[in-house]
Chain A
């Protein structure tokens, strides 16, 4: 809105662009919600026979009439958490090395390698897992087939790390040079630059990278399918085979179309959807509260 001769005038192009942005936002939100509604609707036949509580807590034994996806939730949770636990410090360390510590040539080379890694198809990681990692884990621990939570989490960590590293690097580069120069002029060492300027300034980017990696880890199907072993039993150790929610969807869809068993894929979809939404919102809230409190307590 501008003022011309004292009158408020709306520029038509501004109005147009506002309308376009609003429309795009509404369509985006509606599409996301409709996906959720679609999954609930298609899963209704299952939910009318089995309550959601039973589905979430029971074991998977279709021959006994049990369609619980609890073991798959546990499998997904174990693989995703472990992969993030491995990948986060690894990625942050790598990003710090490339951005701050490594000689220029080495940093450029490592950056290129990381970029290249993001483009490698997941199935290739799966091959590496099956032919290299799985035998290694089997030999190290002398237990099971080697297709287990640990193998899948290690491989998934490798898969999600490049994405995290690139997002972290981007957020490090966005730190204003004037802030870095100010700290240098005050005699700040590299470590102090990192602690007092780079990491606090890149906090939002770090959270974003973590969320992107989490989404990628939760949504990955191929690695879980190829390396986790796909056992439907409840896992008890990191060396147990598990089936993840995404792997369950892929496996059931490949073999079935219209049974109660098939309908469980919608329950899995709903769980993944809500899981991602709740985690994303929680992390955002946590970040917001942290930023607020750290500002309040900066004295």
Chain B
């Protein structure tokens, strides 16, 4: 299987504390890889290294090499000057707590496209409808697209956030415990969505839920003491 994410000798420090210790690992395309491990073991940090979101943190530093296969080209994302905006559009991220922006449901989905330079005439409306259908949200929100996204339930908000990340057609999607704040029913809907999405991109998911990991993951890795080991 072609490796879409390749990490070599990755170490990460927050102040004087070492969070990740010399990790080398690779992830194949069109699969779901789940990362498990105890709280504070560096799982979320690991995800943020792949889209360089950690760089906003004060006092953090890293060493090692992170290569991604994006747009049919292998890129060392720390080794050469690449646009952070471009990288983050190619590597989407969904957070533990749903974080819709304080605007309408429609605008939450249209904004990423507009920020990427797309105009209304380029069919933003159709794209919004498409991702909402893909996220199984369309029947629930089609009559209330003008409503504030924060009026949706927690599960709906998280599906909206996944749809928002997917609307940019990323090649990699990072999911940081996407169902931990949701009930069983909402979590199952997200799981079904992830299984659909893996046909389109590579998913890297942090999860504490062993049963969920068994249900959806093609590959399971465990993070312990800053080191990563493959479980299956």
Within 8 A of A (CB), among B68-83: none
- Say yes or no: A185-B86 contact (C-beta < 8 A), given A192-B115, A298-B146, A299-B104: no
Contact-residue bracket for chain B: 20 to 34
Answer yes or no: B31 CB below 8 A from chain A CBs.
Answer: no
Mask: chain A, 179-199; 1 = CB below 8 Å from B; 0 = not: 101111111110010001100
A: residues with CB less than 8 A from B are 104, 178-179, 181-189, 192, 196-197, 200-201, 295-296, 298-299
Residue of A with least CB distance to B88:
A187
Min Cβ gap A173→B in Å is 15
In the assembled complex, the Cα of A201 lies from the Cα of B101 at a distance in Å of 10
In the assembled complex, the Cα of A299 lies from the Cα of B114 at a distance in Å of 13
Do residues B168 and A187 form an inter-chain contact, with CB atoms below 8 A? yes
In the assembled complex, the Cα of A196 lies from the Cα of B168 at a distance in Å of 17
Min Cβ gap B87→A in Å is 8
Do residues B93 and A185 form an inter-chain contact, with CB atoms below 8 A? yes
- Say yes or no: A182-B86 contact (C-beta < 8 A), given A192-B115, A299-B104, A299-B145: no
Chain B contacts for A201, CB-based, 8 A: 102
- Dominant secondary structure of chain A at its interface with chain B: helix
Min Cβ gap B153→A in Å is 17
In the assembled complex, the Cα of A21 lies from the Cα of B106 at a distance in Å of 41
Residue of A with least CB distance to B97:
A178
In the assembled complex, the Cα of A179 lies from the Cα of B108 at a distance in Å of 11
Nearest 6 CB-CB pairings of A with B = A187-B88, A187-B85, A178-B99, A187-B89, A185-B93, A298-B104
Chain B contacts for A181, CB-based, 8 A: 53, 95, 99
Min Cβ gap A10→B in Å is 32
Within 8 A of A (CB), among B118-160: 145-146, 148
Chain A contacts for B161, CB-based, 8 A: 182
Do residues B84 and A187 form an inter-chain contact, with CB atoms below 8 A? yes
Mask: chain B, 90-120; 1 = CB below 8 Å from A; 0 = not: 0011010101111110110001100110000
Query: In the complex, which of the residues A184, A196, A295, A298 contacts B56, with contact meaning CB atoms closer than 8 Å?
Result: A184
In the assembled complex, the Cα of A298 lies from the Cα of B102 at a distance in Å of 11
What are 9 of the A-B contact pairs (CB < 8 Å)? A178-B99, A181-B95, A182-B99, A182-B161, A186-B112, A186-B164, A187-B87, A298-B107, A299-B146
Residue of A with least CB distance to B48:
A185
Do residues A298 and B103 form an inter-chain contact, with CB atoms below 8 A? yes
Chain B contacts for A298, CB-based, 8 A: 103-104, 106-107, 146
Query: In the complex, which of the residues B100, B102, B115 contacts A187, with contact meaning CB atoms closer than 8 Å?
Result: B115
In the assembled complex, the Cα of A183 lies from the Cα of B84 at a distance in Å of 12
Answer yes or no: B34 CB below 8 A from chain A CBs.
Answer: no
Chain B contacts for A196, CB-based, 8 A: 101, 111, 115
Do residues A179 and B168 form an inter-chain contact, with CB atoms below 8 A? no
- Say yes or no: A179-B92 contact (C-beta < 8 A), given A184-B56, A187-B112: no
Chain A contacts for B101, CB-based, 8 A: 179, 182-183, 196-197
Residue of A with least CB distance to B87:
A187
